[in-house]
Amino acid sequence: EEFGIRDGVDGIVIKRVAPDSPYVRHFEAGMVIVEVNDRPARSLDGARKALRPGVNKLYVFSRGRTGYIGLRMRE
């Protein structure tokens, strides 16, 4: 409700991003991570387990739209 996320959007809500995070350009408050590498993002632990070194595919909801972003993870 705080971020205006519409009904039916399930996933991990990002509440804030630290300014010094290496991923600050990728994420913003109110974004919802719906899937990580084609796996539903139902919990933070599950999403972390779905990440792998290299490029990862995240399906996200942000600002009323859905789409994919690529996220490169270091080993």
pLDDT confidence of 75, banded at 50, 70, 90?
Answer: low
Span 18-73, pLDDT tens digits? 999 988 988 999 999 999 999 999 999 999 999 999 999 999 999 899 999 999 98
Taking phi first (over 0 means left), then psi (-120 to 50 degrees means alpha), and beta for anything else, what does residue 74 get?
beta
Span 4-16, pLDDT tens digits? 888 899 999 999 9
DSSP string computed for 13-34: EP----TT-TTTTT--TT-EEE
